[in-house]
Amino acid sequence: MSIVIRTIAPDEYAAAIDVMTSAFLDRPDIARVAESVRDRWDAGRTWVAFDGARACGTFRSWATELTVPGGATLPAAAVSAVTVLPTHRRRGIMTGMAAKEHAAIRERGEAVGVLWTAEYPIYGRLGYGPATRTGTMRLDVSRTRFHGAPATGVELVTPDPTVRDEVRSIHEMWRVRRAGEIRRAPIRFDVALGLEDNPWAGRWKGFLALRRDAGGAVDGFVRYNALRTWDDDHAGAVVEVQELYALTDEAYAALWRFLAEIDLLATVKAPGRPLDERLPWLLANARAARMTDLVDGLWVRLFDVPRALEARCWATAGSLVLEVVDDDAAGGRSRLALDAGPDGATCRPTGRDADLVVPVAALGAAYLGGTRLCDAVIGTGFEEPTPGALAVADRLFRAADEPWCSTGF
Which of 51, 401 has the CB closer to ligand COA? Answer: 51
93 binding ligand COA? (CB under 6 A): yes
Distances (CA, A) of 393 to 69, 176, 279, 357, 362: 15, 25, 32, 11, 12
Q: Taking contact as CB under 6 A, which single stretch among the options 28-36, 91-99, 241-249, 356-364 is the one that binds ligand COA?
A: 91-99
Of residues 153-172, those binding ligand COA (CB under 6 A) = none
For residues 132 and 368, the answer to whether their CB atoms sit within 8 Å is: yes
Q: Which of 245, 382, 397, 409 is catalytic?
A: 409
Round to whole Å and give the CA distance between 365 and 72. Answer: 18
Of residues 95-114, those binding ligand COA (CB under 6 A) = 95
Round to whole Å and give the CA distance between 60 and 53. Answer: 20
- Whole-number minimum distance, CB 379 to ligand COA, in Å? 15
83 binding ligand COA? (CB under 6 A): yes
Q: What is the DSSP string of 251-306?
A: HHHHHHHHHHT-TTEEEEEEEEEETT--GGGGBSSGGGEEEEEEEE--EEEESSHH
Which of 85, 193 has the CB closer to ligand COA? Answer: 85
Q: Taking contact as CB under 6 A, which single stretch among the options 85-93, 172-180, 318-326, 351-359 is the one that binds ligand COA?
A: 85-93
Of residues 219-248, those binding ligand COA (CB under 6 A) = none
Q: Is the dihedral of CA 255, 257, 260, 262 positive or negative?
A: negative
82 binding ligand COA? (CB under 6 A): yes
Q: What is the DSSP string of 81-92?
A: EEEE-TTTTTSS
- The site map against ligand COA for 19-58 (x = CB under 6 A) is ----xx----------------------------------
Q: Is 409 labeled as catalytic in the residue annotation?
A: yes
Q: Which of 13, 59, 123, 221 is catalytic?
A: 123
352 binding ligand COA? (CB under 6 A): no
Q: Is 123 labeled as catalytic in the residue annotation?
A: yes
Per the document, the length of the chain is 409
Question: Which member of 92, 342, 388, 408 binds ligand COA (CB under 6 A)?
Answer: 92
Report the interface residues with ligand COA, using CB under 6 A: 23-24, 82-84, 89-95, 117-119, 121-122, 125
Active site residues: 123, 409
